[in-house]
A = this chain, B = another copy of it.
């Protein structure tokens, strides 16, 4: 029985450390698919209830929100996580944003400009499918960033996230950790299924050629940006059901701790009821 209500069990177990877990492991929670899927269904109900309370709180200017940042190699399951975890709650309260290669217009601003515009509002769960972290990872691996520029961006990111957290947004940063073997299987599967080919890009094969450089860049980035106010969690993601369960639980633990509250009515409930019932039905 997971004792993670109001707890920190899953967050503690998945918090980023110097050593990455095995991408096929279960550092916490269910070890088998059947159990994992059953637990996800229950998690869905809790997540849904928490999301509704956060949304309700937001309508009266609660000022709080959640931001889920999803990072990971190609095919690590960022999209699948959105579908299977965020799909469990009311779409009204979810603000999804996928970040692509910056456009020329976006490049004319500093790298955090386009990110800021997509931050969640009061009561929302924002989801970043890729994020400002790409702006350190990609140019680093491509050799387009000096060490000084990289350090500067990292310190800007930490300051930015600190500001966002101070503004009432709880940030949950998740690195979906897959193995190169699993990536190979998933890329091949995309190519072999006509209705999945659209998810494939030749650049995925290219990026795969730089696997070690990306792994190194991620390890470095996780170490430098896993802060007290916005820690990174590493989710073993070779097994999709485990990934879904883990991300759902990270959100649930986080939001349980936030304890969103339905706002108190700012009017006399009995009076409104009397008005309605006296009023009855218009002719």
Residues of chain A at the chain B interface (Cβ within 8 Å): 56, 59-60, 79, 82-83, 86-87, 90-92, 94, 96, 98, 127, 129, 180-181, 184, 187-188, 191-192, 194-195, 197-200, 202, 205, 208-209, 211-212, 262-263, 265, 267, 269, 272-273, 275-277, 279-282
- A88: nearest residue on chain B (CB-CB)? B87
Q: Beyond A60-B198, A184-B281, A191-B269, list 11 extra A-B contacts (CB 8 Å).
A: A59-B198, A79-B92, A82-B90, A83-B92, A91-B127, A188-B273, A197-B262, A200-B272, A205-B275, A209-B282, A211-B282
Tell me which residues across on chain B come within 8 A of A191, comparing CB atoms: 269, 272-273, 276
Query: Complex Cα distance A197/B127, Å?
Result: 28
| 25 CB < 8 A contacts A-B | A56-B198, A60-B198, A83-B92, A87-B87, A87-B90, A91-B91, A91-B96, A91-B127, A92-B98, A92-B129, A180-B281, A181-B281, A184-B280, A184-B281, A188-B277, A191-B272, A191-B273, A197-B269, A198-B265, A200-B272, A208-B279, A208-B282, A209-B282, A211-B282, A212-B282
Q: Is the interface of A mostly helix, strand, loop or mixed?
A: helix
| Chain B residues whose C-beta falls within 8 Å of the C-beta of A90 in the assembled complex | 82-83, 87
Residue of B nearest to A85 (CB): B91
On chain B, the residues within 8 Å of A83 by CB distance are 90-92
Min distance, Cβ A182 to any Cβ of chain B, angstroms: 10
Chain B residues with CB under 8 Å of A129's CB are 92
Question: Closest B-chain residue to A79, C-beta based?
Answer: B92
